[in-house]
Each structure stands twice: as structure tokens, then as C-alpha cells.
Amino acid sequence: MAAQDFYGSVSLAVSTVIFALKDRALWVPLVRREREPYKGTWALPGGPLSPGRNLPDSALSTLEATTGLTPSYLEQLYAWGNPERSGGDGHVVSVVYWAALSSTPDQEAKGVAWFPVDGLPSLAFDHAEILDYAVARLRRKVAYSRIAHSFMPETFTLTELREAHEAIVGHPLDPANFARQFRSSPALIDTGRHREGTPFRPPRLYRYDSSLTYADDGALARASSAPDDTQDPTC
Amino acid sequence: MAAQDFYGSVSLAVSTVIFALKDRALWVPLVRREREPYKGTWALPGGPLSPGRNLPDSALSTLEATTGLTPSYLEQLYAWGNPERSGGDGHVVSVVYWAALSSTPDQEAKGVAWFPVDGLPSLAFDHAEILDYAVARLRRKVAYSRIAHSFMPETFTLTELREAHEAIVGHPLDPANFARQFRSSPALIDTGRHREGTPFRPPRLYRYDSSLTYADDGALARASSAPDDTQDPTC
């Protein structure tokens, strides 16, 4: 039997690796699969691409369905297309996005749970490989871009910014070196205000200069809003 | 009418931007479209993804059909999926690869012609945008990786390597600075031999240390060979 007969046709899915910082670590939401293959195991949120819908719109809609939140950053990661990757469920090519959130949701959607990237459960399909790749990309990117910005609230102290960097790279950074490097960044603006509720030497509050664009502003710049699809949040 | 009805289903194509150096410039092969939409205009080589076939295998097969050559480098570039991009021919998502060749073919395949990237004809679909993006990626990458290697023959002089870099970035480079920077590279090996047929101070021949891997070895590392498909070389 030719591969073409066995696989029938190629279908396309969009999945999203959603990162947020919590408890000084990097976390991702996963979705428990409700059907075979891999029923009961955890998977990246995603679903089939609806005809007529943009790839980033599909990623944003998955994000909304999974977390109820809007990302501060969205970028196409890679397309995975190995015919064997779908566990007998046909030939599925997944275009994967990664997103950064500046907070985690107060309440989790049904079937969704958050995990620290250093303590992931067993994952369906090739999603462990995809997550590894996404974490590696984020860790590389934080070294040369302002991507940490996407994880921060509107204003923040230098200590909070360093802790965000530490959570992303997964190891401590020298506070003095970090402060020196970031105080000289033209993208970081001193608000003139200080963190309230800290009686002794309250730390300065900074914000990012939003008039500067990212080195790579990813697909979000091209995304337009589209009506929400009803879709299986796993793929 | 809902977008889903209008577009029917999503189909998946793989296209490849194939770069080679010729006459101190960067060239790409394009394929003349034999049917609507955009009949008679030039397009990137590519075709529908056959069920059961890997994405990089599909890119390699397009490359073989278009040039008869095997690439020295192949990397996934990006996936384009705007529903309007196919000119009324349904919703086609194209996963695009880019490849480097160390030579151009002696003879062109039927319907194929090579163009310098600074003198491209009008292109079908969104292929002008895709080509711009591929050229920008290559130019960025040559600054921090050994990607120029992929365009070189087995052995080469420093002048030839500089000319390759100049062809890629599109402007002249300082010969002394270039020589200093590249002589100190651990990846560049002095073969001890000299360019023949140069009577006065024949220049040294270098080769790359192939035991070192690329900073990003792209999808080629994961590609496996697969039987050739008969496919429309444009999409």
C-alpha cells in the first residue's frame, strides 16, 4: 500500500505554546485529551485550522479558549509535519506558535492545567519535542531581545525584571551586572515613581518604551481579529 | 456565506527558495506557471504536500526536480497561511524552506529560469514577500553563522569566501578586516595547498571543518530520503 493511500490526505492544525511566569518559574497550560489517540494525557492547546482563517488568528483563538487572556507576544515557532507524528490519526501538519502572557488567569478553563516547564507530565504526540524547542527558542531570544517585557506588568522594579529573566533562563543572574546592563537600555524608562508599601528605600518603578518595536515582532503584527471558532482545544 | 463554505478546506503546499551564487550575486530559480491563477508569471518552485511525506523530503524533491542538484543546506523558513494568498484557488498554507547550493546547474529544467535577487520579475501569489523574507533571513544569518560555507566548493581562497559574503550581503567588505576575522575562525582549515595556475604568490586554499556542526543545522539533519513524487513544481 502506498503511503498516499494509508494517509489519505494531509490536514493542518495550529497549536500554541503559552508561557507565563509564576512563582519565579516558567509555566505553560496544557489540555487533557478527551479522545484517542493519547486519551487522558496532556497536550498543547490547539486545533484544526478552519478554512478561511489566518494562522495567527487560529493561535489567538486557542489562547482565548484555553486561558481567557490576550497574549502580549505571539510568534510563529515552526511547522512539524512528520507523517508518523499523529499516532495513526492521519497525516497532520501542525504550525506551532508561541505566546507570552503578562499574567496567569485567575481561573482555569475546563480540562486545562498549568505546569512548570521543569516539571511537565508525559505529553501526547511529539509535544514534548515541540515544548523543548519552544523553551530553547525563548531562552535564546531573551538574551538578545526585549522579550522579557512581554511577561511583565505595566510597571516593574529592576529586581522584578531580573527575577523574570532568571525564571526564563532557569538560573540566577548577578544583580549588579543585571542592573548595570538594563539601566543603560534605551528601552527602559524610569517612571519617577517608586514601589508603594516599601517603607525603607522603596525601589524605582520602570516601564518599557512601547514606541520601540521588538527586534522581531512576530506574527502578532500581522494578526487581525476574526470570529471565534468552536474547535477541539487539543491537537 | 461563511468563510468555511467559501474556502471549503485547507490544503498544504511546500515551496522552496533555492539560493546559489553566480557572477558575484545571489540567484534563485523560478518556475513559470502553466495554469491559472497567475498563468505565465514566475513562482517559487513547490507543490502540494503528498500524504505520508515529510516536509523536508518534499522540499528536497522540489529542489531535485527544479535544479537536479542536492542542497548543501536546507532550513524551514516560515509558514504562510493567509486565506486570500492563493488568488481564489482555495485556502493554501505554504510551509516554505530555503536551501543553499554550492553551484548552479549546467542545464535548466523545462520552465525553470534563474534570476538575480536584485532583478526579479513580477511574482505570483505572495511569493515576492516570501522571497524578501528569505533574503533578509539569509543576510542576517551570514553575519553570525557559517552559512556562507554552503555556497562554497570543497576548497576555496579567502578572496573567494569574501566574494561569496559580498554577494550575499549585497555590498563590498573590507578585505583586510575580512581576512583577519576569518583566519582566526576555528572552523576554517588551511589545506596547506595553493590555488594552481597562479604563478605569482598563489593564494592559500582553505576548507571548512566539517566535524563542527552549524549553529542551526536546520531541517536537513532530520530529513530522510523518500521516493520522488510527480508534482506540479509551482504553488
> Quick check: B226 pLDDT over 70?
no
Indicate the residue of A6, A82, A93 with minimum beta-carbon distance to B12.
A93
Contacts of A158 by beta carbon, 8 Å cutoff, 6+ apart: A178, A179, A182, A183, A203, A204, A206
Selecting from A9, A51, A52 the residue whose C-beta is nearest the C-beta of B51 gives A9
Q: What are the DSSP calls for B218-229, one per residue? A: TGGGG----PPP
A91 touches chain B (CB under 8 A): yes
Q: Is B78 in CB contact (< 8 Å) with chain A?
A: yes
Q: Tell me, what's the pLDDT at B106?
A: 84
Which of A12, A15, A85, A217 is the mutation pick for testing B, counting most B CBs within 10 A?
Answer: A12
CA B88 to chain centroid, in Å, comes to 28
The Cα B36–Cα B25 span in angstroms is 32
Q: How many C-beta atoms lie closer than 10 Å to residue B126's C-beta? A: 18
Q: Whole-angstrom Cα distance, residue B53 to residue B225?
A: 10
In this prediction, residue B187 has a pLDDT band, given cuts at 50, 70 and 90, of: confident
Alpha helices per DSSP H over chain B: 3-7, 55-67, 127-144, 158-169, 175-183
- Mean pLDDT in order along chain A per 10 residues (235 residues): 65 96 95 93 95 94 89 94 87 96 87 95 96 95 86 93 94 94 87 85 89 47 30 29
pLDDT score of B222: 36
**B183 band by pLDDT with thresholds 50, 70 and 90:** confident
Asked whether the predicted pLDDT for residue B63 surpasses 60, the reply is yes
Mean pLDDT of the region B196-222:
68
Cis peptide before A37 (omega within 30 of 0): yes
Comparing CB atoms, the residue among A2, A6, A50 nearest residue B4 is: A50
All residues of chain A having their beta carbon less than 8 Å from the beta carbon of residue B2 are 52
CATH architecture of B3-142+218-222: Alpha-Beta Complex (3.90)
Q: Which of A51, A54, A93 is closest, CB to CB, to B8?
A: A51
Q: Do A93 and B91 touch (CB under 8 A)?
A: no
| Extents of the domains making up chain A | 3-142, 152-208
Per residue in B120-148, pLDDT (tens digit) is: 999 999 999 999 999 999 999 998 888 89
Mean pLDDT across the stretch B149-173?
93
What is the Cα–Cα distance from A95 to A75, expressed in whole angstroms? Answer: 11
Whether the complex's predicted ipTM surpasses the cut of 0.85: no
Contact B50 A4 (CB under 8 A): yes
Instruction: Single out the residue of A155, A154, A150 nearest to residue A165, CA to CA.
Output: A150
Phi, psi of A108 (to 5 degrees): -90, 145
Cβ–Cβ < 8 Å for B71, B100? yes
Which pLDDT value is given to residue A123? 97
Amino acid at A90: G
- Domain B146-208 sits in CATH 1.10.287.1260: no
Which range (B129-143, B181-195, B208-222) has the least confidence? B208-222
From A6, which residue of chain B is nearest by alpha-carbon distance? B52
How far is it, in rounded angstroms, from Cα B96 to Cα B80?
8
Cβ-Cβ contacts under 8 Å, A16 against chain B: none
Helices (H), A110-228: 127-144, 158-169, 175-183
Over its C-alpha atoms, chain A yields an Rg (Å, rounded) of 20
In the prediction, which pLDDT does A227 show?
25
Q: Which of B8, B52, B90 comes nearest A7 by C-beta?
A: B52
CATH architecture of A3-142: Alpha-Beta Complex (3.90)
Q: What is the pLDDT of residue A199?
A: 75
DSSP state of B147: G
Q: Best residue in A91, A98, A144, A217 to probe B by mutation, most B CBs within 10 Å?
A: A91
State the average pLDDT over residues B215-220: 40
- The answer to whether domain A152-208 has CATH 1.10.10.10 is yes
Fold agreement (A3-142, A152-208): no
Q: What is the pLDDT of residue B212?
A: 61
B54: contact with A, CB 8 A cutoff: yes
Contacts of B93 in chain A (CB under 8 A): 12, 49, 55, 95
Query: Quick one: pLDDT band at residue B34, thresholds 50, 70, 90?
Result: very high
Rounded to 5 degrees, what angle do the CA atoms A163, A168, A173 make?
Answer: 50
The predicted pLDDT at position A70 comes to 87
pLDDT in tens, A207-230: 988 776 544 444 333 333 222 222
- Determine the residue among B7, B10, B141 to mutate to test chain A binding: the one whose Cβ has the most chain A Cβ atoms within 10 Å: B10
Query: Residue B100 has what pLDDT?
Result: 95
Higher per-residue pLDDT: A125 or B108: A125
Instruction: State the pLDDT at residue A5.
Output: 59
C-beta of residue A18 within 8 angstroms of C-beta of residue A28: yes
Contacts of B49 in chain A (CB under 8 A): 10, 81, 93
**A198 vs B: CB within 8 A:** no
